[in-house]
Amino acid sequence: MKTENFMRLEFPSHSANESFARQAIACFAAQLDPTLDELGDIKTAVSEAVTNCIVHAYPDCIGIVTMKAKILKDNVLQITVRDHGCGIPDVEKARQPMYTTGGSERSGMGFTIMESFMSDLKIISKPGLGTTIQMKRKLSRKGVRP
């Protein structure tokens, strides 16, 4: 698909940067004139993806998180969140609700939330090399009926 606009951010996996990523994607997505519900869904999905990088990809160190966003034709927002951390040994198992490697304080719902708030979710991971999460969401134009 042809890209109409794009952005790229890199930041360390400090927990404070989860909020930064949420706000950055909200600002970028605003040009598509999303509804408040759509914007909330997008921010929540990005929050889950970045939190996974912080908690799971780099559990014992600080690493780099890369977030890219593209606006594609037909009002589609594509977001990619990538780390170079420990990777996920079994992606299908990790996608199951309530599964977590983060201890009892984690809910294990991150991928489920991302999947429910976005139109499309792809997870690519290799142990020792990191994880890439690609999400897409087709947005409605306010005031325009489908």
- Phi then psi for residue 81, to 5 deg, are -120, 125
Q: Which of 18, 48, 82, 137 is catalytic?
A: 48
- Is-catalytic flag, 75? no
- CB contact at 8 A, 56 and 107: no
Q: Which of 106, 115, 137, 141 is catalytic?
A: 106
- Is-catalytic flag, 52? yes
Helices (H), 14-144: 16-29, 36-52, 91-94, 110-117
SS3 content of the chain, % helix, strand, coil (to 5): 35, 30, 35
- Is-catalytic flag, 106? yes
If one counts every other C-beta atom within 10 angstroms of the C-beta of residue 12, the result is 12
Q: Which of 17, 52, 82, 137 is catalytic?
A: 52
* Active-site annotation, residues: 48, 52, 106
